[in-house]
Amino acid sequence: MGYLLLAGAIGCEIVATTCLKLSAGFTQFGWSILTVICYVACYLCLARALLTVDLSVAYATWCAVGIVATAAISALVFHEQLNVASAVGIILCVVGVVLLNLNTAGH
């Protein structure tokens, strides 16, 4: 159940961050409200997930998946460019999370 809640937290965070971009600095009321609602839902899910998932694993996974997803959204939806250094950084984040999860798999 903890990992399902973590997935929910990640999904809400990705939606919230995308809405934050669409809110244009909190000048667009609807997107601003949706941003706040999704961030509240994100942290509620994350707090519940931390009851059963190690903090290091949960936070690293939450961050890395969020980075990969928002980078993809920024490129596909907002037509923002990713350079080689950005791609390498994203790959290193993913590798780090995989190693962290492998290291704590027995706990």
Look at residue 69 and tell me whether its pLDDT is greater than 60: yes
The residue type found at 93 is C
Look at residue 103 and tell me whether its pLDDT is greater than 80: no
Look at residue 105 and tell me whether its pLDDT is greater than 70: no
Angle, nearest 10°, between helix axes 55-76 and 29-49?
150
In tens, the pLDDT along 24-58 reads 999 999 999 999 999 999 999 999 999 999 998 89
d(Cα 62, Cα 93) in Å, to the nearest integer?
A: 11
The pTM of the whole model exceeds 0.95: no
d(Cα 12, Cα 46) in Å, to the nearest integer?
A: 10
Cβ-Cβ contacts under 8 Å for 84 (sequence gap 6 or more):
none
